[in-house]
Amino acid sequence: MIELIPAIDIIGGQCVRLTKGDYAARKTYDPHPEDVARRFYDMGVRRLHVVDLDGAKADHIVNLETLKKITALGMTVDFGGGIQNLASFFFRLQTLHIYKASLEGPNLSSFSASIFCFS
């Protein structure tokens, strides 16, 4: 079985898509990502991949309130973007994705991990 997981990318609290990863070349699809998540939910989708692109760029979570609104729908949310520690996650997420480039150490050129949260 194949599970299709829709993705919602967030910049400035809005649902966007970047062109070739270029923050300057983006298209806004909806000013309210939680409404997009609700539409997916209403269509039967129960899992989303959500990325805080502001957070990824800033190295800390920026769109936390939007993320809280999305998780309140009761969907499984795989989240990435700006995660530096786990202390701020007091609401339910299924998976946190942490991608951090590092130039420290000769054998460590990048760090990538997925943390699976069970509640």
| Closest C-alpha to 39, from 67, 90, 1, 75 | 75
Quote the Cα angle for 46-4-17, to 5°: 95
pTM of the model: 0.74
What domains does the chain contain, in order, with CATH numbers? 7-116 (3.20.20.70)
pLDDT tens over the chain, length 119 residues = 888 899 999 999 999 999 998 999 999 999 999 999 999 999 999 989 999 999 989 888 899 889 889 988 888 888 888 776 555 554 455 555 554 444 344 433 334 444 444 43
Q: Are 31 and 45 spatial neighbours (Cβ–Cβ below 8 Å)? A: no
